[in-house]
Every structure is written in structure tokens, then in C-alpha cells.
Chains A and B, each alone.
Chain A
Amino acid sequence: MSATRTAPRRGSDRGPGTGAVTGRPPWVLLAPALLGLAFLVLPLAGLLIRAPWATLPQRLTEPHVLQALRLSLVTATLATATCLLLGVPLAWLLARVSFPGRRLVRALVTVPLVLPPVVGGVALLLVLGRRGLAGRWLEESFGVTLPFTTAGVVIAEAFVAMPFLVISVEGALRAADQRFEEAAATLGASRWTVFRRVTLPLVSPGVVAGAVLCWARALGEFGATITFAGNFPGTTQTMPLAVYLALETEPEAAIVLSLVLLAVSVLVLAGLRDRWVTGP
């Protein structure tokens, strides 16, 4: 990735001839590129243009909006914590331990990235639902049911968001210089100490980037949440669910809620800057 960043500089060093080629891109590329940009940006602009700015503050402070926003922030944060707890070790396993079927495991880990979230929700129901494989046991043994609870929302969000963290951390681990870990080991540090004191600090930028992406994805989660956790204000109704239902009766309210989610997403991605794109 760093090669692409230095490419223009190298181009201009090569003299006026090649510099002209890099300076003026061919229309064949420029036209679709600009069209692509417009395609991605215009819908967001539409949201801003159609927003009922005059009533915005009043709509944003409505109790049910604040309730959904609070629930969204809490569940996305808890989901990210869950992903950190489980995803960092998983990424470490994928990056540092060689075992048969590792490529298959890596592919499986990223499945939720491309799986339609509704399918994820159905899968979660079949396993953790009241009649699910594990869910039945949970209810019979502990009286715990996960669907329709805030914990269910966290599980749905974590399921969908974890791959972002694992991919980011695994990439960071692969790029990190293993000689530091080896040096620590030869100095007598245990494997756990090496992981905690050397590996983790080395890859912390990757972990942070992954966690932020993971959080943003969890915040926007809709399909798996509404399928697995249902929709009840205060317990399971997160912002995206509130947007969807507001669209049924109050399109303006839906626009306002969408704006909040858009603002949060943009802030998060702007905060990450090129860390995610350039990567380790």
C-alpha cells in the first residue's frame, strides 16, 4: 500500500514526459471514476438536503430517539468488547499458529462479512433461540433465553462485526516483526508475557483500527438484530431498527435518525483516516 502512496512522487521524478501521463488521467478512467464517486456520495447528500433542519433539535431530543441512540451506543460498545476479548486471540491463532485447515478457518471467520445479516440472524436463532441447539440447553439448565434481550442484540452485533476486528488484527500481527517476540522469549519471558508485553503493544494500532471499525459496523447492524433480537423499545430497538419503523409512518423522523447514524459513521471513518485503507 505504501508503494501506491509514493507512486506520484516517483512519477514526477521521472521527467516531464511521464509526469504528463500521471498528471492527466485518461477520460476512459476519469469518467467512470467520477460517476462512481457521485453514485456513492449523492444519496448521502440527498439525506442532508431533505433533512428537516428546522425541527431537527426537537426531534433528536424525543425520548424514544434518545432511548434508541443510548441502546445503540451501549450495545455497540459491549459488542466491540466481546469482539476484542474473542477476536484478538482468534487473530493471533490465525497469524502465529500453523495448523491444518488454517485457510479454511480464516475463510469461515470472514463469512459474516459477506453473509446477508438476515441469514446471520436466522442462523443465530437456530442455534441460540429457545428451540435452538444451544438455546434449548441454556433455557432448560439456566432459564436463560437470548432472543428479545439486550444481550441478544450484543450477540447479533458481535457476530456481524467480529470479522472486521479479526482481519485488522491478523494483518497487523503478520506485518509485525517477530524478532522482538523471539528476543523476549530468549530472555526468559513466558509466551503469555510475550503476547501481553511485546505482541499486543506492537499491533495496538491495528487493534484500535479494528475495534473502531467493529464498533461502527455494530452500530449500523440491522438485519441480524431484528431477526434474532426482535424489536422492542428500550430493550432491543437500536437506531437502525428505529429508522426502519419510522419510515412506515414518519419519513421525516427516519431522515433525522439516519442523519445521526451517518454523522457517527463519518466521524469514525474520518478518525481512522487512512489507517484502515493503508493498513499495516
Chain B
Amino acid sequence: MSRWAVALPVALALAALTGCGSGTPASTSAASSGGGAAKTLTVFAAASLTGTFTELGTAFEAAHPGTSVKFNFGSSATLAQQITQGAPADVFAAASPATMKTVTDASLAGAPATFARNELEIAVPAGNPAKVDELKDLSDPKVKVALCAPQVPCGAAALKALGAAGLKVTPVTLEQDVKATLTKVELGEVDAALVYRTDVLAAGGEVKGIGFPEAGQAINDYPIAALFNAPAPDMAGRFVDLVLSSRGKDVLAKAGFETP
């Protein structure tokens, strides 16, 4: 018993230390390993790219033996904040030009390239309980709608689309990201939500997507850039090339993105 009393705090302290290891100290190890045999490429990418970029990362590792691609998926704005605060990233792929601008304005990257476009769709739960057919139906007060918060790209796009249609919608919730918004549809807690077409596709049969003409006026561009302070600069450029290549376009198109 007394041995446990000692062992537990020690174990916790070790866990805390190793936990910290994945944070800032990783920057030094990633930077130093850049010239070594085992190379690590660190890609910060918008959460909506999780599926496609994981697939491209595997392809990249196969094409460059001895390299490993590490991803940090999250909200574009959060990732941009992390990069401007000195996070050790090689590549940044954002879900909106605005979040990329945070990074380029801080002179941390050059001109980004647009590699994908995403369009909004109305997502309804399987069975469509509220009988939603078009965007206009979302303004019915009896229909429970979830939108992304205006602070995040999918929310900004939703506002733009609703504005283009001249509609006023009162959502029941403004979710922090597109995945959380979609989850509320999947669980049937809301009758409809405005999310990206790619997310509807990724959700499978649980969710049905309904296209609408105004979505064309709220298309979201995805920019990508290699970062100036990249710990592995040559690899960063090659990864960006892969994303922009026909191979990259295939993977993105399969997931529902438009590619320029």
C-alpha cells in the first residue's frame, strides 16, 4: 500500500513530463531530426481535411522512405494562432483565406496556393423529420437549426449564403466547428444544419445532404503554404506539391472537394 503511495505520484509526474514532451520540447527534436535519417514532416491542417490529408500523408511516406508525416488537425483559426505563437510546423493548410492571412501577415509564409474549394449543403438527419427541402425551410421557427459560429469559417460561409438568399434564420446553437455541428444532426438533436458537402459525404448514411443554389455564393477556398521557419523546408515544399498534383486532386475530389 505504502509502495503504491509513492509509485502513483511518480507515475503521474512521468506522465505529465512525457505529456509535455509532445508540446514545446518537440520543436527541438523535430528541428534537429530534420537533417538526420528519420525525418519528420509536421503538417497543420484544418479539421475538414482529416480524411484526405491522412491519405495523402501515407502516400507521401510511401514516396519518401524514412520520412514520417505528423498531422495536427484542428480549427484553422486555432492552428493559425499556434503557428504565430511559434509552433513548429512545416506546412499549413487552412479552411479559409482569412485564417491563412493571420500567418502570412505575420511573415511566416509566402503566397499561399488554393488547392480545394468546399461548398455548403443542408444536412438533415436520416429520414428528414422536419421535411426540409430547400434553404428557405430553415427560416421556419419550427425547424431546429444548428449553424457554425460566425467566428469559424463554416459559420462565416453560412452567414454569407443566408445573406445571399435574403433569409433570416435563428439557430438553436452556434457550434464551435463543422464537425460538432454535424454531430448534432447525426444525433438527431437538430432538424437541419449548414455544413460542408465533404462532411456530409464523410458522415455516410446517418446524414443526408441537400444542395442549394446560394451555396455557390459562399464557396470556401482552402489555401496551403509551406512555412518559412519550417524545420524540414525541402519536405514541406514537396508535400505542398503533392497536394497540388493530380494525385492530390483525385483524393480531394473523391472526398467531395472541388479542385481548381
B151 touching A249, Cβ below 8 Å: yes
A236 to B189, CA, bound (A): 15
CB < 8 Å neighbour of A230 from B13, B77, B175: B175
B189 touching A245, Cβ below 8 Å: no
A32 touching B184, Cβ below 8 Å: no
A232 to B147, CA, bound (A): 10
A129 to B189, CA, bound (A): 6
CB < 8 Å neighbour of A248 from B152, B173, B180: B152
CB < 8 Å neighbour of B144 from A125, A148, A231, A236: A148
Contact with B along A217-234 (1 / 0, CB 8 A): 000000000110011110
Asked if A147 is at the interface (CB within 8 A of a chain B CB), the reply is yes
CB < 8 Å neighbour of B176 from A125, A126, A231, A251: A231
B189 touching A244, Cβ below 8 Å: no
Are A248 and B172 CB-contacts (below 8 A) given A129-B188, A129-B189, A131-B187? no
Please name all residues of chain A whose beta carbon is closer than 8 Å to the beta carbon of B175 when the two chains form the complex.
Answer: 226, 230-231
B10-40 at interface with A (beta carbon < 8 Å): 13
Please name all residues of chain B whose beta carbon is closer than 8 Å to the beta carbon of A32 when the two chains form the complex.
Answer: 13
Contact with A along B173-192 (1 / 0, CB 8 A): 11110001000100111000
A236 to B176, CA, bound (A): 13
Contact with A along B181-225 (1 / 0, CB 8 A): 000100111000000000000000000000000000000000000
Query: How many cross-chain pairs have Cβ atoms below 8 Å apart between A and B?
Result: 60
Which of A130, A227, A246, A251 has the most B CB atoms < 10 Å from its CB?
Answer: A130
CB < 8 Å neighbour of B78 from A125, A230, A247: A247
Which of B77, B146, B151, B172 has the most A CB atoms < 10 Å from its CB?
Answer: B172
B172 touching A232, Cβ below 8 Å: yes
Asked if B255 is at the interface (CB within 8 A of a chain A CB), the reply is no
CB-nearest residue of chain A to B77: A248
* Interface size bracket, A side: 20 to 34
Are A230 and B187 CB-contacts (below 8 A) given A148-B144, A247-B78, A248-B75? no
CB-nearest residue of chain A to B153: A248
Question: Measured between C-beta atoms, what is the minimum distance from A65 to chain B in Å?
Answer: 15
CB-nearest residue of chain B to A236: B173
B39-94 at interface with A (beta carbon < 8 Å): 75, 77-78, 81
CB-nearest residue of chain B to A146: B189
A147 to B172, CA, bound (A): 9
Please name all residues of chain B whose beta carbon is closer than 8 Å to the beta carbon of A129 when the two chains form the complex.
Answer: 187-189
CB < 8 Å neighbour of B81 from A131, A233, A251: A251
CB-nearest residue of chain B to A129: B189
A18 to B188, CA, bound (A): 68
List 10 additional A-B contacts (Cβ < 8 Å) besides A131-B189, A230-B173, A249-B151: A129-B187, A129-B188, A131-B187, A147-B189, A148-B144, A226-B176, A241-B176, A245-B151, A245-B174, A247-B77
- Could you list 25 examples of A-B contacts with CB < 8 Å? A32-B13, A129-B187, A129-B189, A130-B189, A131-B187, A147-B189, A148-B173, A226-B180, A227-B180, A230-B146, A230-B172, A230-B184, A231-B173, A231-B176, A232-B173, A232-B174, A233-B174, A237-B174, A244-B176, A245-B149, A245-B151, A247-B78, A247-B81, A248-B149, A251-B81
